[in-house]
Amino acid sequence: MLLLRVTCFSQPILPQEKNLGNSYLNYSKLARYICSDSIGLLGNQSLLMLGELERILENCDSVPINESLLEYLSSKKMNHLSITELFVRIADKPIVILNEAHDRIKPRVFILNQLHLFKKLGFTHIAFETVSNENRNLNGNTGLYTCEPVFGELYRKAVEYGFNILSYESFDIKRDSMQAENLYSKIRKSDGTVYKTLVICGYGHLYEWYPTANQKMMGAYLKDISGVDPFTIDQVTYQEAECNEFKKTLFKALADTIESVCYSSEEFDKTEMLPPLCDMYIVHPQTKWNNNRSTDYELNGRRICYHYNLKKKKSILVQVYLKKEFTKTTIDNCVPTDQITVCNVSDPILFLEKGKKYLIVERAINNSILSRHKVKIR
Q: Is 147 helix (H, G, I), strand (E, B) or coil?
A: helix
**Grouped pLDDT means (10 residues each) for the chain, 378 residues:** 37 39 48 53 80 82 86 83 95 98 95 98 97 90 92 97 97 94 97 97 94 92 97 92 83 83 83 79 92 93 94 92 86 90 85 95 88 91
In 180-208, which positions are buried (b, 16+ CB within 10 angstroms) versus exposed (e)? Answer: bbbbbebbeeeeeebbbbbbbbbbbbbbb
pLDDT given at position 265: 86
Under 8 Å between Cβ of 27 and 46: yes
Instruction: Give the DSSP letter of residue 244.
Output: S
Structural domains for the chain: 72-283 (3.40.50), 304-378 (2.60.40)
Nearest-angstrom CA–CA distance, 337 and 150:
7
- The pairing of strands 357-363 and 349-353 is unpaired
Written as one letter, the residue type at 123 is F
Amino acid at 99: N
Helix %, strand %, coil % of the chain (to 5) = 35, 20, 45
Model pTM score: 0.90
Task: Count other Cβ atoms within 10 Å, centred on residue 258.
Answer: 7
Phi-psi group of 135: left, alpha or beta (phi > 0 → left; psi -120 to 50 → alpha; rest → beta)? beta
Return d(Cα 181, Cα 94) in angstroms, integer: 17
User: What pLDDT is attached to residue 78?
Assistant: 82
pLDDT score for 63: 82
Tell me the CA distances in angstroms from 80 to 28, 133, 208, 236, 305, one per residue in order.
39, 38, 21, 17, 32
Distance CA 149, CA 353 (A): 13
- Cα–Cα distances in Å, from 280 out to 80, 112, 171, 199? 10, 18, 28, 15
Complete DSSP assignment for 269-304: HHHT-----SSEEEEPPPPPEETTEEGGGGTTTTEE
Radius of gyration for the chain, computed over Cα atoms and rounded to the nearest angstrom = 21
- Whole-angstrom distance, CA of residue 104 vs CA of residue 100: 8
Alpha carbon distances (Å) from 196 to 48, 97, 108, 118, 175 = 31, 11, 20, 10, 23
